[in-house]
Amino acid sequence: MPYVTVKMLEGRTEDQKRALVEKVTAAVSETVDAPPENVVVFIEDMKKSNLGKNGKLQSDA
């Protein structure tokens, strides 16, 4: 059973998350020959204050 975790900054709509889960599920299912019902997708929304890039918090960018 494949498990996929997607980490991204918060702010996406429910519709965007639905589309992401649908497309990730299809890609994983096709790539590793797993039934779609066995693919589990976790979405982790992160606050900008919890992500640093190039030495700075994204909330400061």
Q: Specify the pLDDT at position 61.
A: 82
For residues 26-58, one letter each, b for 16 or more C-beta atoms within 10 angstroms of the residue's C-beta and e for the rest, the string is eebbeeeeeeeeebebeeeeeeeeeeeeeeeee
CATH number of the domain enclosing 7: 3.30.429.10
Domain count, the chain: 1
Kindly tell me if the per-residue pLDDT of 22 is higher than 90.
yes
Q: Specify the pLDDT at position 54.
A: 95
Helix boundaries (H) for 1-61: 14-32
> Largest alpha-carbon pair distance within the chain?
42
| The residue type at 50 | N
Q: Specify the pLDDT at position 42.
A: 98
Task: Give the range of the structural domain holding residue 30, as residue numbers without chain letter.
Answer: 3-60
Q: Determine the Cα–Cα distance for residues 18 and 10; give it in Å rounded to an integer.
A: 15
**Residues with catalytic roles:** 2
